[in-house]
Amino acid sequence: MSATTPTGKDPVRSSLREVQKDLTRERLTEAALTAFREQGYDLATADYIAKLAGASRATFYLHFKGKAELVLELLDRLEPTVVAAYRDLDELRHAPRSKIHKWVVRETARWGADSGRFEALDRAAAVERKVQERWFLCLERSADAMTGYLSEFPSGTSRRRARQNVLMQMITMERGMFLSSVRGLPLDSKLLLESLTDQWSSVLGSAGNPSTR
């Protein structure tokens, strides 16, 4: 017989309900990614997402207010990985070009492995302002995580410009990887990697160049 809490609730049953809730939420999230790939973000309906997940429309709205909230949760899950990646890059600010190149290769591979998720986010961002703003916030937090690089610039205008340069390079890299890894456009992958490596080497190298301050 299960013990009860002072509130009269069975902790075992409560735990099982939470597990079931999380599993249902995960099924809806994965179903949404499939629906967005098949129909596009704007045409995919809550009914269709719920059907793919083996749930009802009511269940969908029990977990999410709408598609945008679901995508925002995807971004919340993705952000720690993105921020950690740029912290790793920050550690390479005085490293040889070959190590920066390895980082670029690693991140490009990550985009390719998770192309479905990135495509869903891009499609949602095209029509949902709040998704656009949340993705940019993720990039801003990633830039702020590069504390070593930013600390090499005096506070004020030079540091703000350095942060802006990092943000612009992040956006450039994101678009390049999206078009290559997600959209599959006929870009020369080797040249793309070399170009991104050159760009990041230039940005990171500016920290030691007084003329950029």
What is the rounded CA–CA span in Å between residue 73 and residue 171?
21
pLDDT grade, residue 11 (50/70/90)?
A: low
Q: Are 51 and 28 in contact (CB under 8 A)?
A: no
Tokens standing for residue 178: 């999206």
* Mean pLDDT over each residue of the chain, to the nearest integer: 88
Q: Are 117 and 74 in contact (CB under 8 A)?
A: yes
pLDDT grade, residue 195 (50/70/90)?
A: very high
State what percent of residues in the chain have pLDDT above 70.
Answer: 90
Q: How many CB atoms lie within 10 A of CB 149?
A: 25
pLDDT grade, residue 9 (50/70/90)?
A: low
139-176 pLDDT, tens digit per residue, is 999 999 999 999 999 889 999 999 999 999 999 998 88
Q: How many CB atoms lie within 10 A of CB 8?
A: 6
Domains of the chain: 1-64 (1.10.10.60), 67-212 (1.10.357.10)
What is the rounded CA–CA span in Å between residue 66 and residue 145?
31
